[in-house]
Structure 1
Amino acid sequence: MNDDSASRIVAALRRRIATAPPGAQLPSNRVLVAEHRASPVTVQKALRRLVALGLVESRPGVGSFVRSVPAAPRPADLGWQTAALGSPRIRTSGLSSTQRASVPDAIRLHSGYPAKELLPERLVRAALLRAARTEAAVTRSPAAGLPELQAWFAGQVAAGAPSGVTPPSARDALVVAGSQSALSSVFRAVVGPGQPLVVESPTYWGAILAAEQAGVVLVPVPSGPGGPVPEEVDRAFATTGARAFYAQPTFANPSGAQWSRDAGLAVLEIVRHRGAFLVEDDWAHELAIDADPAPVVGHDHDGHVIYLRSLTKSVSPALRVAAVVARGPARDRILADRAAESMYVSGVLQAAALDVVTQPGWATHLRSMRHQLRIRRDSLLEAVTTHAPALQVDHVPRGGLNLWARLPDGTDVPQVVRDCESRGLVVAPGTEWFPAEPSGPHLRLNFAAEDPARFAEAGRILGEVLAPSA
């Protein structure tokens, strides 16, 4: 039997079924054999798959017919329990599924990074060579970062500030070795051990890990495609006395959610009223697809937003350069924490990063990257929709690297991950992106790290794992 031939017949019949009325008769097995140039055994296998999926009804001696399929019931919305129960007292933190090694020929949809061909490799290599010939190669850089790179990060924030808002200065931008180290310092310096931190649920697994290592108590609020409900955020502040809210308003990891301008202003007003901070993680600023980023920090006049911006995903994972933009005593505390832990960031890496983002080719690279991300996102979405209809993608992300897919209620997520891996597909279970118990079973599928030509195969594997053929 030829699995590829059976899969092609299944895909063709599903397209026909999609436009056919319930009860319509499909072509006979003999016609399908001739039409697809396949063996009778392969055609029968394809029809059994369609029966197993509930799309076709087989009547012995009569033929195969399009089955009347009732609309799938809406999954129960249990996300409200996230805020009601809070974070569990004991969690186990370990290596993320995104950091797992995989066999060389596996289809990798678990990664947290874009593929090498999406990065500005030529710009990076040239920048590293130039940086190695400067004084940065043999001198210590300032604890707060190279002044020119500080000015670039601060200028990025200032460019989005409306009139009447005082933007941060170059001094307010602290260069750090990646956003993960920045999160650790912010949580230690601004929140503190034993203190509550409001977080979206789901949220970035690395932020959960950093908060736990800092001894911070997580206070989850449910967050959907448009972000959290501002009233839920305010309630969390009121009931816990938290002094900070960690969030990803732009193309959140894992869900791809993007806050509206009104939602961002509403949350900013809440933290102002509560005398608190918004820790804005703008990790995907350069990973826009269908919408431009509009960071909340651009509307912050009085230092309520602590802003994180990383170049790791858009420049190179080998250049772990990011910045924390903060003002006042918060800035000084974060700098003191960073200096105590790592003293300073390599001047060579800083010089190379600055070189890349100030080259004329940087803007060209970002336009190309946006185009390629759109192609990859749409290709993976089509593959999942066609071959794995049991996976539900409620929100098509307008930027970022991932699809956030809901599995049917009651699915054994670890078993699905193991079954996929045994077939050569590596996926990330959604469990680790929840600061408390998951509100439902999910997978996070990265569309930027793998060759899009393999997405159809990935979709078929997911479909087989979730709905095995009879």
Structure 2
Amino acid sequence: MRIPLNRSAQEPIYLQIRDRIKHLITSGSLQAGEQLPSIRALAESVQVNKLTVIEAYSVLEADGLVEAKQGAGYFVTNFVTDNVNFSERSSTLEPAQEVVIPSKWGESFIDQYMSSIQAQLDPDVIDFTSGFPRPSGLEDLARISRRAMTQVADVLFSYDAPQGQFTLRKQLAQMLAWKLGLEVSADNLIITNGSKQALSLAFQYYLQAGDWAIVESPTYHGAIAILEKMGIKVIGIPMQKDGMNLELLHQYLRSHQPKLIYTVSTLHNPTGITTSQAHRRELISLAEKYNCPILEDNAYEGLNFQPAPPPLKVLDSSDLVTYIGTFSKTLMPGLRVGYMVSSGKHYQSLVEIKLLHDLHVSTVTQAIASEYIASGHYRRHLNHLRSINHQRHDLMLQSMEQYFPSTVRWTVPNGGLFIWVQLPNSTPLQLVSQQAATQKVLIGSGKVFFPDGQGYPALRLNFSQSLENIERGICLLGDILKQNI
């Protein structure tokens, strides 16, 4: 295999090797199933270190173009990167369709978050409450971090742009176009300290104390907590199996003239629901009719097992939608790198608010996220994460079918981290939680996800635990539920 290299070019050698082999594959010169040269043979042929060839093959593997077979080497794939068949189970969720306009606020997001952080200190606790992915794929972190540090070492002693490093924003724009069909430029992106900061910035920009805002009911409890502190009047539109009840949404857009709609359209937190293309089009149409901005918070996009419809932002022709994403759920929470996409008149105002919050996101963590994308490791990590999440998702559903009472209902999400469990109205949820805690199974009340802190009895269960902990935890929880229902 002949691979010409330009050793004076700025592009790293391993990426030049990747590009040449990718061309040979996509042009048909290398056929599906054909074996690539061994790492040693190719290293000797092009006169590079074996680690350089390993990096090139790793990126090709992340791109789904080659696969490694234990003890045999690397082979050209047939371009199918995900052969897992999605579960044929269907959601049994049957929530009451009651709009929530709270006169008081309920249980604290902060309390549940701190309980989950505390649970991490005890390895024997099975924590079904957290919103974190499990540690995975860390073997590349040290090498990627070292490479990232060398690229930004000369700018660590100065401040950076509040909207984020241009290289990362350009990479994100390309990734969003490739993954989601969202055509934006680097000048539409703002890098934030996780998606939580992006939420705060957007709420601060669009809302003032006393304004009405629409949220889904249930919804992300962190968003509820921010709105509560801001003094926003919330309208909770109930969720159905296919998403927010749009008939009720239309009614309250007309009657209350809210200033913002907050929605999680893909892998909804906490229910895991992904709305259809038709649902998204109707939502956009309603927002345009009443000139109501939409904040689309898709923190779990990228963890779907099957393709999801394009985000609402793709359908946005009136600059009404601000889109939020993050690496916290798809890579690692500790990086604290999120982003928001804004277009039209809103962008510069959001950048100015960001500047007043914290000047800029850590130069180092931005560089690490950038290197993950550039090297292809991010795409490979996502493929790996989806695969292990799919196994755990299916095991939790199987275990629930086996151990839970027949009166319990739940969603069947197409990815993400959560399954939403609807319990009978008579369930003593606090007692169930206490009894589970004595068995070292941590479950959080679903009440924190409702704007009034009440709602119907429910649980949000995280399936990112180990397979052993999922089966043992669901078995214990099933026994407790049978005793109390």
TM-score range with shorter-chain normalisation? 0.7 to 0.9
The match for 1:104 is: 123
Matched, 1:128 2:142: no
258-267 or 410-419, larger mean C-alpha shift: 410-419
Deviation readout 1:256-300 (Å, 9 max, x if unpaired):
011100100110111111112110001011211234352111121
Match of 1:207 among 223, 241, 244: 223
Matched, 1:153 2:168: no
Match of 2:435 among 419, 444, 449: 419
Letter in 2 for 1:400: G
Matched, 1:454 2:469: yes
Distance 1:392 1:291 in 2: 28
Give SS of 1:307's match: strand
Match of 2:258 among 239, 242, 245: 242
Q: Among all aligned residue pairs of Structure 1 and Structure 2, give the percentage whose two residues are the same amino acid.
A: 24
Q: Can you give the 5+ residue segments of structure 1 that lack an aligned partner in the other structure?
A: 1-73
Distance 1:334 1:425 in 2: 41
The match for 2:448 is: 432
Give SS of 1:270's match: helix
Going from structure 1 to structure 2, the CA distance change for 1:109 and 1:161 (only over 3 Å counts) comes to closer
Deviation at 1:127, TM superposition (A): 2.5
Distance 2:180 2:393 in 1: 30
Letter in 2 for 1:468: Q
Match of 2:395 among 354, 374, 379: 379
Letter in 2 for 1:142: A
Give SS of 1:279's match: strand
Distance 1:193 1:281 in 2: 21
Letter in 1 for 2:301: H
The match for 1:330 is: 346
Question: Are the counterparts in 2 of residues 224 and 257 from structure 1 also a CA contact under 8 Å?
Answer: no
Deviation at 1:146, TM superposition (A): 0.5
Going from structure 1 to structure 2, the CA distance change for 1:283 and 1:96 (only over 3 Å counts) comes to farther
Letter in 2 for 1:106: V
Matched, 1:282 2:298: yes
426-435 or 145-154, larger mean C-alpha shift: 145-154
Match of 1:86 among 87, 96, 101: 101
Question: Are the counterparts in 2 of residues 255 and 403 from structure 1 also a CA contact under 8 Å?
Answer: yes
Structure with the greater alpha carbon radius of gyration: 1
**TM-score of the superposed pair, with normalisation by structure 1:** 0.78
Distance 1:144 1:391 in 2: 49
The match for 2:59 is: none
Aligned length: 387
Distance 1:425 1:399 in 2: 23
The match for 1:61 is: none
The match for 1:464 is: 479
The match for 1:272 is: 288
Going from structure 1 to structure 2, the CA distance change for 1:336 and 1:215 (only over 3 Å counts) comes to farther
The match for 2:132 is: 113
Deviation at 1:216, TM superposition (A): 1.8
Letter in 1 for 2:174: G
The match for 1:45 is: none
Q: Can you give the 5+ residue segments of structure 2 that lack an aligned partner in the other structure?
A: 1-91
Distance 2:402 2:431 in 1: 22
Distance 2:281 2:94 in 1: 30
Deviation at 1:404, TM superposition (A): 0.6
Letter in 1 for 2:142: R
Deviation at 1:160, TM superposition (A): 6.5
Question: Are the counterparts in 2 of residues 160 and 298 from structure 1 also a CA contact under 8 Å?
Answer: no
Question: Are the counterparts in 2 of residues 291 and 399 from structure 1 also a CA contact under 8 Å?
Answer: no
Question: Are the counterparts in 1 of residues 93 and 411 from structure 2 also a CA contact under 8 Å?
Answer: no
**TM-score of the superposed pair, with normalisation by structure 2:** 0.75
Match of 1:441 among 457, 460, 483: 457
Distance 1:428 1:89 in 2: 20
Distance 2:130 2:431 in 1: 19
Deviation readout 1:7-32 (Å, 9 max, x if unpaired):
xxxxxxxxxxxxxxxxxxxxxxxxxx
Distance 1:94 1:257 in 2: 21
Letter in 2 for 1:151: K
Distance 2:376 2:95 in 1: 48
The match for 2:13 is: none
Give SS of 1:199's match: strand
Question: Are the counterparts in 2 of residues 201 and 434 from structure 1 also a CA contact under 8 Å?
Answer: yes
Give SS of 2:204's match: helix
Distance 1:303 1:76 in 2: 34
Going from structure 1 to structure 2, the CA distance change for 1:98 and 1:396 (only over 3 Å counts) comes to farther
133-142 or 332-341, larger mean C-alpha shift: 133-142
Distance 1:217 1:125 in 2: 46
Match of 1:365 among 360, 381, 389: 381
Give SS of 1:198's match: strand
Give SS of 1:249's match: coil
